[in-house]
Structure 1
Amino acid sequence: MTDTLLKTPLYQAHVDAGAKMVPFAGYDMPVQYGLGVKKEHLHTRDNAGLFDVSHMGQLRLKGANAAAALEALVPVDIIDLPAGQQRYAFFTNEQGGIMDDLMVANLGDHLFVVVNAACKEQDITHLQANLPEDVTLEVITDRALLALQGPKASSVLSRLAPQVADMVFMQVDNVSLMGVDCIVSRSGYTGEDGYEISVPQDKALELANALTAEDEVEWIGLGARDSLRLECGLCLYGHDLDTETTPVESSLLWGISKVRRQDGARPGGFPGADIIFEQIATKAISKKRVGLIGQTKAPVREGAKLFDADNNEIGVVTSGTAGPNAGKPVSMGYVKPEFAALESEVFAEVRGKMLAMTVSKMPFVPQRYYRG
């Protein structure tokens, strides 16, 4: 099995660090290290964790019309994205479903796009089929991607490049780290302050070793990455988002830029716009993504069915964790809209028992992005 899996440039470093490796999105990836998932989670919240996310897809879009071409595929303002900034976006299909979520950065002379590992081949094909001839798509194959996350990430990385301390959330820049040209954004997937660093793959190990040599930094695996993002209300594609679910149903209306809305300056123009606008106007949807807090100590995991007090099935849990920082089990999932109001009580079926849960606001723990 391992022989058929792809490996990131840091594979051997994970093995040497005692990682438990598992298949993930076609790659052999570290799910946890010696600390274990819970301690890795807590360490990231208190100090700084280093994540290998080199399995993600890194792309460049070049050409005078690159922003307009990408904007035709996402309900996000790309044309007016300032140089040195990045934005969260998602590809939609003709039914308004979400094909993938992604990050788009304007590096001045091109757009730098990061897509999910499990979707990258599909996304590349989608872009190739829809970009005009005057826009060039370059698939980056010679760079690794690291994420340094946590309240001490800034002090650690600024030892290598003092200017990163002045960056704010969602800023991006070309930064020299240890004499190597890197693309650094102040962003991440944990809800904490931190950075994502695109580094030439032949320099990735040197940079990773320098970062993990700092007292504040530990390697962190996919297990804690999942519980960290869930506590902070961040979706995982293929679990909380999919092609059958629209941004309205998935509570991602904030991800549709004002200028792209029906009454905006550049309304619609993206796949499924009419369906999405109709859902916004009529609120006629069959499900809604919500946060859920368990009333017992038992975690409620992905796949657990949700019921009302009369034992009618009303939805499903799409992500769940014990909530190391929340101090209680937290999940997200989809319920029928009439059960989506805050404080609604629903019941999750876990091993034949009905466990009470309360519909709650997300994030479950505060996001701590640095906004200056």
Structure 2
Amino acid sequence: MKVHFKSLFPSVKPDEIRHVYSPYRVCPVGAHIDHQHGHVTGFALDHGVDFMYVPTQTGIINLFSRNFEGQVLFSLNSVPHRYDHWGRYVQAAIYALKKRDYALTVGVQGLISGSLPVGGLSSSAAVLLCYIMALADVNGLVLDKMALIDLAYEAEHEYIGLNLGKLDQSCEVLCRKDHLLYLDTRDESYGLLPAPRNMPPFDILIFFSGLTRTLVNTNYNARTDECKVAAYTLMAFEGLPYGTVEETRLRQVDPEVFSRWRHMLPPVLDRRASHYMSEFARVEEAMAAWKAGDLTWLGQVMFASGLSSIEQWEAGCPEMIELYDIMRSTEGIYGGRFSGAGFKGCCVALADPTKRDAIIASVTNRYVTHFPSLKGAFSAHVCQTADGAGRRHRETTQP
């Protein structure tokens, strides 16, 4: 990456280069409930997004990407209408900072790079975090962790247009190596639970289906709206006070209320609410399994989460569902599920590192046999847990 940066900006001295980093994230259990103010779990990964940059006193934004073609070039004083390509993420970061009245006079020129294929690991949140950290750095702004999470959330929710919760940003900022993040998105309280001494080592395996996607063009937003309508309807049947549909969440509905009135819901709303209620309970079970150091138990909960995502949330596509089924029948994989929204992208698995090579070979062979056209696009990656986003020291900058 340093060589590429030097080729783009040959006049920049090595000691002038600044470097921020945000990891990708996975959610072992807690799928699709953060936007309903549920509680979730998460790991940051030792793969992510790097942004190398220098300040521009003229306020110019001048960016290149190692993953996408083209150049992004404009002035902070004249931000163009929202791009329909990768440049919109720096626009979103600028939007979020300016919305909170942070003064932005110094721009950045630099190179951004993601280390894994796009799809299911919250790369968009990682990119936004990098841009926000860099713009704050060059403009002398001090942001604590919660402010950083809020800014990245507002950038993606309000500017990019996704009805998401704060799982992605929180994992990528708050996580620590060898810890499981527990986050209650209703009040944003969280805890970092260290791996118990009796827990055996484990790999986090990422299997990319070979299919990429952007959530803006999927039914992701429709799913979150269906949850709100389900909550609103259940509260109305129960005679509970409620506001608008937009501000209603399934966290406001007790499981007993759901059980009492679910027969009145249209089937699709019943499925969405059923997933929320069961996934909320699975998070509690996953926490108990983690504290016990029981990866077999935790894996079973992950597989159950994955099945609910398919049957009740109705995520996935034939390729992703096949990949999930392959993981379930592969020796050495404790558990797995879709990562991210699950419409395309990747699956995540917790696995026995002593069987790593055999697992990857088996999953790869079975998947590409079923979908030979994806042989060159499918990939498997070995990850570990990692710390959250922050400034890179110069000696750790990737070559």
Indicate the TM-score class for this superposition, using the shorter chain for normalisation. Answer: under 0.3
Q: Which has the higher helix share?
A: 2
Higher-RCO chain (CA-CA 8 Å, sequence separation at least 6): 2
Q: Which has the higher strand share?
A: 1
Q: TM-score, structure 1 length as denominator? A: 0.26
Q: TM-score, structure 2 length as denominator? A: 0.25
